[in-house]
Chain A
Amino acid sequence: MSRVPLAKKVLSENNRLAAGLRARFRQHSILCLNLVSSPGAGKTSLLERTLERFAASERVAVLTGDIQTDNDARRLARCGFPVKQITTGGACHLDARMVERALADWQLDGLNLLLIENVGNLVCPSSYDLGEAAKIVVLSVAEGDDKPLKYPAMFFKSDLLVINKIDLLPYVSFDVARAREHARRVHPGIDILEVSCTTGEGLEDWFRWLERRRDASGILNLKSEL
């Protein structure tokens, strides 16, 4: 019996494709964000509020993943920006190959922001790099405030936690301070925002966060000079 060391990433093929996507996004000055959450936390609503806010001249596009149906793509297409549904046909997450395929017939030249809505699932999407600049995890107050402790991988890998549906706080036992503490215990450096996509409360903070990230990647300045 002989032992052969491998020291290789299990998902090296996905990581290779994701690195290719990341390089293309950089080349085209595109900020790519990967939105993750459990089902029903409000990823699509947050995207709707975001797209509604943008002027028609903004070069924004959305990829939205679901196991079945193109309901989300139809919801988001109303805002007038390019939207494509990725139907995974059973898979519980998006992977880099699905994103690569979905982008095959899009002109990346025309974009500077790509928002990817992952399949609703707090576990599996955490393992798959899609070439994004950052993951954003959405947690609604209709869920437990201990979710960051139960699903540490996702909160650890996300740059921003958006606590959504804060208009429901009077009716639920969710403790925002506790949720913040749990998230920081898993990921001390995570940014945290509180919003309601229904009333619009807190969304200004989200738009500011988004603009900061776009500025940081030099995208707005670069493109506006062209």
Chain B
Amino acid sequence: MHELSIANAIMETVRAEARKRPGARVAKVGVRIGVLAGVDPEALSFGFEVLVRGTEFEPLVLEIESRPRRHRCQRCEAAFDVSDDGLACPACGATETVFISGDELELAYLELEES
């Protein structure tokens, strides 16, 4: 359960960004998590809720966007979401495909309210 450390890293960025914008209140923080990031979104939401409770940031909302594993076909160049069926290209059936994305663990955006 390292999601609490991850939530803490998110809060550190929120605090730093909030200091840069004294007139604004951070209402929402958006993160992108790939299926290969090794992070459980539910555990992260729970950890985040616990960290925010009782702070000046309450009620800060965490929005998690889950990202699929994506590959590109070496033969037909098609990019596709990988399913449980395997890594073969769904368009042309080629098995030579390369990883493009799916291990993201990114802070995407903040939503600010002017106060």
Contacts and interface: CB of A to CB of B under 8 A. Distances in A.
Interface of A: 1-11, 13-14, 91-93, 95, 123-124, 126-128, 151-154, 156-157, 185, 188
Nearest to B34: A153
* Interface size, B (range): 20 to 34
21 contacts: A1-B112, A2-B111, A2-B112, A3-B112, A4-B110, A6-B107, A8-B13, A10-B10, A10-B13, A10-B105, A10-B107, A91-B2, A91-B5, A93-B2, A123-B38, A126-B38, A127-B6, A127-B37, A128-B2, A151-B38, A153-B37
B88 to A, nearest CB: 10
B109 A3 contact: yes
Given A4-B111, A8-B13, 17 more contacts: A1-B113, A2-B112, A4-B112, A6-B109, A7-B107, A7-B108, A8-B106, A9-B105, A10-B9, A10-B10, A10-B106, A92-B1, A123-B2, A123-B40, A128-B2, A153-B36, A188-B87
Is the contact region of chain A dominated by helix, strand, or loop, or is it mixed? mixed
Given A153-B38, A185-B86, A3 B110 contact: yes
A182 to B, nearest CB: 11
A182 B36 CA distance: 15
B13 A127 contact: no
Nearest to A9: B106
Nearest to B97: A188
B60 interface: no
Given A126-B38, A127-B6, A185-B87, A153 B103 contact: yes
B70 to A, nearest CB: 13
Interface string B77-115: 000000000110000000000000001011111111110
Contact of A11 (B87, B105, B111, B114): B105
B31 interface: yes
A79 B47 CA distance: 41
B35 A152 contact: yes
Contacts of B24: 2
Closest 9 CB pairs between A and B? A153-B38, A124-B2, A126-B38, A6-B107, A8-B107, A4-B110, A10-B105, A153-B36, A127-B38
A154 B40 CA distance: 14
B58 interface: no
Given A1-B112, A124-B38, A188-B87, A92 B2 contact: yes
Contact of A124 (B1, B105, B109, B111): B1
Nearest to B39: A127
Contacts of B35: 152
B17 interface: yes
A4 B17 contact: yes
A188 B86 CA distance: 10
Interface string B21-56: 000100100010001111110000000000000000
A13 B38 CA distance: 18
